[in-house]
Amino acid sequence: MTLIALLGFAAFFLSFLVAPMAILVIFYVGFAARDRSKRKVGHAAAPDSPVPDTMAAEARARQSVMERADTEAGQTSASRRLEGR
């Protein structure tokens, strides 16, 4: 009788661990499929037409923003050193 109760409790407890993981897997598969279909749309254009590489453009834009922030932060700290703060 005790073994049955322990097995029931174990199944009940594991359901709280498995159910959220299953939901996360469903969302992950859905988002991956959506992302993959978006990437395939860009490659479906005619081979002679120029297709902009949006991933590379986004990476360059992110890099320029980060470099600009680093530059501004460097100027700010250098100006503080000159002012004696």
Kindly list the averaged pLDDT for each block of 10 residues, start to end, along the chain of length 85.
92 90 93 85 54 78 87 64 56
Q: What pLDDT, on the 0 to 100 scale, is given for residue 79?
A: 53
With a threshold of 0.75, does the pTM exceed it? no
> Rounded to the nearest 10 degrees, how much is the dihedral formed by the CA atoms of 18, 19, 25, 31?
-160
**What pLDDT is attached to residue 58?**
86
pLDDT for 77? 53
Nearest 5°: phi and psi at 48? -85, -15
